[in-house]
Amino acid sequence: MPAKSAMRIAQPPSLATMAADRLRNAIIDGEFTLGENISEERLCEAFGISRSPVRDALNALQFTGLVEVRPKRGSFVFNPTEDDVAKLCDYRFMLEREAALMAVRDDKDALARQLQDAVAAMVQAHANGDRRAYGHADTAYHAAFFLCCGNGLMRDAYRLAEARLATLRTLLTAPFDERRESGLAQHRDMAEALLSGDTAGFEAMLKVHADWTGRLTAALQSQKEHPKP
């Protein structure tokens, strides 16, 4: 008779977990604008579920900083200030730099494969004009540092900001073909420097690549001037 563990049926995810995952992806993919009110009623209707799991989902996303729940006012997509963006960029650079160097030391072969796969996916998505797939591949590229670094605490630290970074990445690159084109070159160059042992070169390129402050400020202002209909 098979072992009990082999016969055990895995518990399906809760409605709140599924709702949180769906809403998280929708925000990251730009289906909501920054600062937009998230109607519980519309989410209930769209997901076909009651208010309780929807509220649990919103509270879970609040923990990641992706959603702001304001008592008696409702729930809103996060809406960073220029200072918030600057701090997020600093946090990102610090973590990605250390995780990347740890990944080269801990599992260089796996890191090389994941970076290569991510760049290939970015190339294909750009050629197809698939902005959403490009953003997902871009996010996978940077996540590879943490998947291969061998340190769970580093991964946990990154997850605190990962969804916000992915959302801002969509805002910054999705509408601009030329930014995706230059981004491809940057990702290739960073991978080549990192894997070849050019630590100083990699750090310098990552510093520039991770500094979104000026570009995001302009993009945020453009979004305010041209709100989603």
Tens-digit pLDDT profile for residues 83-110: 898 999 999 999 999 999 999 999 999 9
Instruction: Spell out a b/e string for 10-44, using b for 16 or more CB atoms within 10 Å of the CB, else e.
Output: eeeeebbeebbeebbeebbbbebebeeebeeeebb
The answer on 133 and 60 residing in a single domain is: no
Tokens of 195: 């894997």
d(CA 200, CA 193): 9
**Pairing state between β 74-77 and 67-70:** antiparallel
CA distance linking residue 208 with residue 46, whole number of Å: 40
Q: According to the model, what pLDDT value does residue 227 have?
A: 57
CATH code where residue 21 lies: 1.10.10.10
User: Do 109 and 73 belong together in one domain?
Assistant: no
Please state, as a whole number, how many other Cβ atoms lie within 10 Å of the Cβ of residue 228.
9
pLDDT of residue 189: 96
Q: How many CB atoms lie within 10 A of CB 49?
A: 16
Q: 109 and 206: one domain?
A: yes
pLDDT attached to residue 5: 57
- Rounded-to-integer distance, Cα 182 and Cα 31, Å: 25
Q: Is residue 221 part of a domain?
A: no
- Domain interval for residue 101: 82-212
pLDDT on residue 95: 97
Question: Is residue 151 a part of any domain in this protein?
Answer: yes
User: Residue 59's pLDDT band (boundaries 50, 70, 90)?
Assistant: very high
Confidence of residue 171 (pLDDT cuts 50, 70, 90): confident
**Is there a single domain that holds both residue 123 and residue 40?**
no
CATH of the domain at 203: 1.20.120.530
pLDDT, tens only, 104-125? 999 999 999 999 999 999 999 9
Kindly indicate the confidence band of residue 4, based on its pLDDT and cuts at 50, 70 and 90: low
Residues 104 and 29 in one domain: no
> Tens digit of pLDDT for each residue in 11-53?
667 889 999 999 999 999 989 989 999 999 999 999 999 999 9
- Helix extents (H) in the chain: 4-7, 15-28, 40-47, 51-63, 82-128, 131-147, 152-173, 177-196, 199-210, 213-225
In a domain, 152, yes or no: yes
* Three-class HEC string of 44-72: HHHHCCCHHHHHHHHHHHHHCCCEEEECC
> In this structure, how many other beta carbons lie within 10 angstroms of the beta carbon of residue 2?
6
Q: How far apart are CA 14 and CA 18, in angstroms?
A: 6
Shared domain for 146 and 96, answered yes or no, is yes
The 67-70 sheet, strands edge to edge: 37-38, 74-77, 67-70
The total number of structural domains in the chain stands at: 2
pLDDT of residue 202: 97
Say yes or no: 22 and 44 in one domain: yes
Amino acid 179: pLDDT: 74
- Does 93 share its domain with 61? no
At 210 the three-state DSSP class reads: helix
Q: What whole-number distance in Å separates Cα of residue 131 and Cα of residue 143?
A: 18
